[in-house]
Structure 1
Amino acid sequence: MSKHKINKLLFGTAGVPLSTPERNISNGIVHVRKLGLDAMELEFVRQVNISKEKAPQVKEIAAKNNVVLTCHGQYFINLNSLETEKVNASVQRILNAARIAWLCGGYSLTFHAAYNMEMPPEKVYEKVKKEMQDIMKTLKNEGNEIWIRPETTGKGTQWGTFQEIVKLSQEIEQVLPCIDFSHVHARNAGPELNASKYNNYKEFSEILSYVEKHLGKEALNNMHIHVSGIEYGQKGEKNHLNLPDSDMKYKELVRAFKDYKIKGVVISESCKLESKAF
């Protein structure tokens, strides 16, 4: 089990803040602190853009500025691909991101794990579980203790309901959920585009209660959360929006965070990253 834990709830940006002078990762970390935020997510969504040689410097700058780093892995991941070479490539992308994020002093790595490929949910789950077990075995053998967190996804074609990810976390050590509340809302709005579905204090609380019931209080003390405004259609997520431009009831979400006394990191994925990091 990872020893990396946080003693309060921190807020930060998905990537380098837009207002950063001379935008790069190191300057972004420094600027996050100047903005009064406490975390920044390394965006490896296209590629792992920090070298093994550069990572210790990133770790040092983050420690000096008391900024916690999380990481978002590449989009090109599908642990349920029908093609073996694509599964193998996906595994390597997760491992490479985890290795560099760990060298950077990272707290947590998240990624979208798989697509359903029109297969039965039970079969997809077992395939994802097998690949994740192999990934975690490799990381354990390397002494890598970063939290590994499949993210709740925003479309029905993607694997990753919060129930599926909680179940996976029960079965594999050092795995916990990354709960993207905007994705959960978009995924469950349904054909009627129900703006209130998983978008109120009661249902936010139900998600947190579900996590606590199945994973224990430790999981609520080690959260990795994504929040943004979100545009969605009948098939789920379309794109991210700024929170005020969306129907996301983020003030009710923050109230649920407070009432459940959760700890960890909340990352704003809104278009204007730092302006609405709560």
Structure 2
Amino acid sequence: MGTPKGLTEINVCVALPGNRAASQAVRRPPKTDVGAGKTGPSGRAAGKPINIRAYRIIVERWPGPFGEPVIRFGPSGIPLSCKGRTLRDGIEDIHNLGLTAMEVQLVRVNLNERYAGDEDVGRTPRDIPDELVVQVGRKEDRKEVLISALDTKIEKGDVLYSLASGIARDYHELEELGTLARELDIELTLHTPYYMDLADADGLAEKSVQSVIWGGMLAEAMNAPIVITHLGMFGELDPKEALNRIGKNLRTIRDAYKKAKIRSHLGIEASGRTEVVGSLDELLSLVKNAKGVLPVLNFAHVHARGFGLFKRPEDFDDVLSKVEKASDGGHIHAHFSGVEHADGNELRYTPIKKGDLRFEPLAECLLNDDYDLTIVSSSPLLEHDAMYMKVILERVLAKRLVRPPKSEKPPEKMEKPEKPEKSVKDLKEGKAEKRR
């Protein structure tokens, strides 16, 4: 990974056993243009400076001269400590905190509809100002056809359906925010609404599929690599039937992404309760039958479903290796939090320090193997626990830097030379000499 545009960087790398390195980077914030008529590095108009404070020093494993994988940390949503509540405020605040990831929350999918005006004809949803148009309704053969694609040309008589989400003003702003995040080396991802029914247990599968497709359109505008979704409940369905229905809907969403030229991957998240689809085995089975869909590892959920599964680095490694294999050996997106659980079910998220799911064994695991990982804090403390995980990883790494490699043997102790035995005659002569 090269240096993000607009950042000046100084790397100090120390080799670790197994060709690993610790990189200490001093990053300087990009300059913003303030002259009349000028724009900043992402086309931002003058008068909108980036709220970046001073320099920051980061110690993390990321591609340096040895090509190590990236380990990113960030919160699920806008940081709690952020004074502003816009997505731009959140991105800037995350950078100032020294974090490198943020999961954007698509909480609501309510739609506003209107007929296309003369000024809209010939434009695309991407070009419409002050609206996030996620669907175009068009009459074809006396039937309304719904089109969800950013580059669809709007025609006279079309109905435009816009998302009332509050994430951004329009697609142009989303593109600017995506550019800003890349300049600050922050990975943006998007999470769809938390209630999903892809098994159609409650008759809401069609609405759920549409929500995930619309989330993909927003993610494409931000250049987000993955859209994360839950799967829904079994309800009264037989588990096999529920999984078959979900698999079919996942393939529908995947194909819709391809047709709309959405480059973001679809990721399905592990669930924390037995009545909700999403055990680790169910995830791996679903992604196997829907090529291109990725598993999203929620450590707290898997820990709860496994009756407190994660205790040692080896426990984490066993699960991570399975998920990595299902992801074609690529990047893994994961969530981490403390968790209260009972009888194989999650009860609630907790701060990391209060649960029995500890981060230290995971840190050991990550430094033992070359995992490429983004860890999103879904803890009630959000960015505070994201920073806590980063600090723990740095501490474990620092201990390894000062610890001698296991292959080196400690220096052998030098044996003291044996003193020659003295005879009784020598002892008497020595005492006589002292008296003189």
User: Is the shorter-chain TM-score for this pair beyond 0.5, marking a shared fold?
Assistant: yes
Q: Identify the residue that residue 192 of structure 2 maps to in structure 1.
A: 73
Q: Do 1:12 and 1:39's aligned partners in 2 also have CA atoms closer than 8 Å?
A: yes
One of 359, 364, 374 as aligned partner of 1:250: 359
Moved more, 226-235 or 177-186: 226-235
One of 82, 90, 98 as aligned partner of 2:208: 90
Alpha carbons of structure 1 residues 215 and 71: separation in structure 2 relative to 1, 3 Å: closer
Alpha carbons of structure 1 residues 212 and 32: separation in structure 2 relative to 1, 3 Å: closer
Q: Distance between the aligned counterparts of 1:236 and 1:58, measured in 2?
A: 38
Q: Distance between the aligned counterparts of 1:46 and 1:229, measured in 2?
A: 26
Equivalent positions of 1:102-181 (< 5 A) are 102-181=220-299
- The structure where helix makes up a greater share of residues is 1
1:49 maps onto 2:158 in alignment: no
Q: How far is the alpha carbon of 1:83 from its aligned partner? A: 4.6
1:20 maps onto 2:82 in alignment: yes
Q: Do 1:41 and 1:267's aligned partners in 2 also have CA atoms closer than 8 Å?
A: yes
Q: How far is the alpha carbon of 1:243 from its aligned partner? A: 0.2
One of 35, 39, 47 as aligned partner of 2:97: 35
Q: Do 1:166 and 1:215's aligned partners in 2 also have CA atoms closer than 8 Å?
A: no
Query: Residues 113-155 of structure 1, C-alpha deviation per residue, up to 9 Å, x if partnerless?
Result: 1211143322211110000111111110111111211100000
Q: Distance between the aligned counterparts of 1:150 and 1:179, measured in 2?
A: 9
Q: How far is the alpha carbon of 1:34 from its aligned partner? A: 0.9
SS of the aligned residue for 1:160 comes to: coil
Q: Give the structure, 1 or 2, with the largest relative contact order (CA under 8 Å, sep 6 or more).
A: 1
Q: Identify the residue that residue 276 of structure 1 maps to in structure 2.
A: 385
Q: Do 1:185 and 1:199's aligned partners in 2 also have CA atoms closer than 8 Å?
A: no
1:229 maps onto 2:323 in alignment: no
Question: What is the percentage of aligned positions where both structures have the same residue?
Answer: 25
SS of the aligned residue for 2:294 comes to: coil
Q: Do 2:201 and 2:233's aligned partners in 1 also have CA atoms closer than 8 Å?
A: no
Q: How far is the alpha carbon of 1:105 from its aligned partner? A: 1.5
One of 190, 193, 197 as aligned partner of 2:309: 197
Q: Do 1:186 and 1:232's aligned partners in 2 also have CA atoms closer than 8 Å?
A: yes
Query: Residues 143-195 of structure 1, C-alpha deviation per residue, up to 9 Å, x if partnerless?
Result: 11112111000000100111221222223232111100100111222xxxxxx
SS of the aligned residue for 2:374 comes to: strand
One of 368, 373, 388 as aligned partner of 1:264: 373
| Structure 2: runs of 5 or more not aligned | 1-62, 64-68, 110-164, 390-436
Q: Identify the residue that residue 73 of structure 2 maps to in structure 1.
A: 11
SS of the aligned residue for 2:179 comes to: helix
Q: Do 2:199 and 2:234's aligned partners in 1 also have CA atoms closer than 8 Å?
A: yes
| Structure 1: runs of 5 or more not aligned | 1-5, 190-195
The amino acid of 1:137's aligned partner reads D
Q: How far is the alpha carbon of 1:57 from its aligned partner? A: 2.3
